[in-house]
Amino acid sequence: MEQLVTNKINADIVLREPPKGIRFGTDALLLADFAMPFIKSGSCIDLGTGSGVIPLLLLGGGVNASFIGLELQQEYARVAAENAKANGFEERFKVINRSAQDYKEIFECGRADYVISNPPYMRADCGFNNEHKAMDIARREISGGIEMFCKTAAWCLKSGGSFFAVYRPDRLATLVCAMRENGIEPKRLRVVAPSVGKKPSLLLIEGRKDGKEGLIYEPDLYIYTDNTHTEQTQEIKDIYSRF
């Protein structure tokens, strides 16, 4: 077994990750920050939890909720469970090693208060095949696309429960259609761009199960202060400091 890579997220949380997979990045951090003020006490399911970074960020940030991380890849599921235990959250963060396609066998219908996900962004037929299978599964919709994640979220959520996701801006229409087809109404949207005038790189979205129409478009989030991309904005610095 290869040596795991260890990262210190903040003063309290330590994250260990498989060396040949996708590592913890800005998208997970921004999604956790986007969702954190709205996740109160209750139950939250993280679809595609990977090494467990999003539940760990939220728990480490003081969120008073219990988490279930669903992860297809066995190695990642094992590492996520180990990370939960190593950080003292094994009672509030459980990991299940199954596919989201099996959602009806895994989860009771309509019991979760929140579902959160950083799903694969790329179509299965898009881009090149990575030599490491784990990387391919995490990046590309090989084992299921956003439609499956939204269907799973809709099954799990209570009426009025919230779904949080980070996704690619160029696939916004696909994301919104998948949410609405499964009874999740988009309620809050924020676009992330490298700097002013640059093309958006990510989007953050919140939807509500059985929600009414009405979308709040939040101010764009910029990573850097200018196009040289050498100095981070104060908002990004504040997000990092919160975690």
How confident is the chain (243 residues) per 10-residue block, as mean pLDDT? 61 81 84 96 96 95 95 94 96 97 96 96 52 46 77 98 97 96 98 96 98 97 95 95 84
pLDDT score recorded for residue 122: 52
pLDDT score recorded for residue 8: 62
Contact 141, 122 (CB under 8 A): yes
Neighbours of 182 (CB within 10 A): 20
Distance, in Å, from the CA atom of 134 to the CA atom of 214, rounded to the nearest integer, reads: 38
CB-based contacts of 7: which residues, under 8 Å, 6+ apart? 14, 15, 16, 17, 23, 24
Distance, in Å, from the CA atom of 181 to the CA atom of 103, rounded to the nearest integer, reads: 17
pLDDT score recorded for residue 10: 61
Contact 93, 43 (CB under 8 A): no
pLDDT score recorded for residue 145: 86
pLDDT score recorded for residue 19: 77
pTM as predicted: 0.89
pLDDT score recorded for residue 203: 97
> What CATH number is given for 5-242 in this structure?
3.40.50.150
Contact 100, 182 (CB under 8 A): no
Distance, in Å, from the CA atom of 83 to the CA atom of 87, rounded to the nearest integer, reads: 6
pLDDT score recorded for residue 140: 40
